[in-house]
Amino acid sequence: MSQSKLHVKKGDTVLVLAGKDKGKRGKVLRVVPDKNRVMVEGINLVKKHQKPNQKTMQGGIIEQEALIHASNVMLVCPRCNTPSRTGHTILETGQGVRKCLNCGETLG
């Protein structure tokens, strides 16, 4: 399967556009480019039934984040603090970077 690039990276702050957590903001914890999915902190919490084992002596029902589709999140620009689309530009050094299309800030 070919690696597809996503508009968000690990550590970005994003706004959820669709689903049960619509309107919430969170930090991207994990990116799965092969499946076009991301894991966002505090978003799409699901309950998991956990058996006791060597690592976790206490069993029970735990809540954890699940993956959501990358098209359902939008990057929040750290400078203008608004959800914005991203563009790509090439610096003088030849390095390609993302940029905010609202304020023009480069996003590393």
CB 6 within 8 Å of CB 70: yes
Burial class (CB in 10 A: 0-12, 13-18, 19+), 91: exposed
User: What class has domain 1-76?
Assistant: mainly beta
Token pair for 97: 């970077």
Q: Is the pLDDT of residue 1 over 50?
A: no
Could you read off the pLDDT of 32-49 as tens digits, one per residue?
A: 999 999 999 999 999 999
Q: Is the pLDDT of residue 108 over 80?
A: no
Q: What is the pLDDT of residue 4?
A: 62
